Amino acid sequence: MAEYLVPKSAVVFEEEIKKSRFITYLQHTEGLEDARAFWAKIKQEHPNARHHCWAAVAGKPTDSLQLGFSDDGEPAGTAGKPMLSALQGSQLGEISAVVVRYYGGILLGTGGLVRAYGNGVQQALKLIESEIKVERTPFKLDCDYGQLRLVQQLCEKYQVEILSQGFQANIHLILGISEKTREAFSSELTEKSSGRLVIQLLEIGE
């Protein structure tokens, strides 16, 4: 999956069900660590709530290693799982949901909880704006100062991200290149520099 949709902005949806107040928060999160930090932030904002349940599709939608959820004290399977199912149904990636519940004194039952938590996320998803995220692979490129303008022009043409620049005797660049444009960008770069500029895959740890 070279590109996928991610949330463009955060949203909040609130409803009351049998005197219990449910507040659903959705936010863009990159990775499970980011998702847990989002959950901790919401929990800190609502210290008196009975439950702070969460679910996340924290990577691309097809990455099962970036899924997570918690019932946070609700009966097993009644909160985190229906929340996660709602997120997965949206086809969005890098998204987390936290649902805060202020208990109103009336038990909702297993089915009622599943509906409340799942529906809260579904309703919040209707409010969210999304944008396309293109996966890019990091490549390194060394050029001299006279070649920098050419590199910048081609980066703009092929939507290549300049991730970092190091200025020494030569310029050391790290470029983020999508699979869709890599071959065309590399070919034109090599051609217009008469073979002097060649991108190299950035190895892990470099």
Enter the pTM of the model.
Answer: 0.77
Edge-to-edge strands of the sheet including 67-70? 11-17, 20-28, 95-102, 51-57, 67-70
Query: What is the distance between the alpha carbons of residues 35 and 67, in angstroms, rounded to a whole number?
Result: 10
User: What percentage of the chain exceeds 70 in pLDDT?
Assistant: 98
Residue 76, both tokens: 């097993």
CATH class of 135-201: alpha beta
Give the pLDDT of residue 60.
93
Q: Do domains 3-132 and 135-201 have the same CATH topology?
A: no
Q: Work out the average pLDDT over 74-98.
A: 98
pLDDT at site 206: 60
> Can you give the residue ranges of every domain in the chain?
3-132, 135-201
Pairing of strands 136-143, 130-134: unpaired
Per-residue model confidence as pLDDT tens digits over 19-35: 999 999 999 999 999 99
When the candidates are 3.40.50.970, 3.30.70.100, 3.30.230.30, 3.30.2090.10, the CATH number that belongs to 3-132 is 3.30.230.30
Write the pLDDT tens digit of every residue in 96-136: 999 999 999 999 999 999 999 999 999 999 999 999 998 88
Helical residues (DSSP H) of 46-140, grouped into ranges: 80-89, 109-125
Give tens-digit pLDDT for 160-182.
Answer: 999 999 999 999 999 999 988 99
**Cα distance between residue 70 and residue 162, in whole Å:** 38
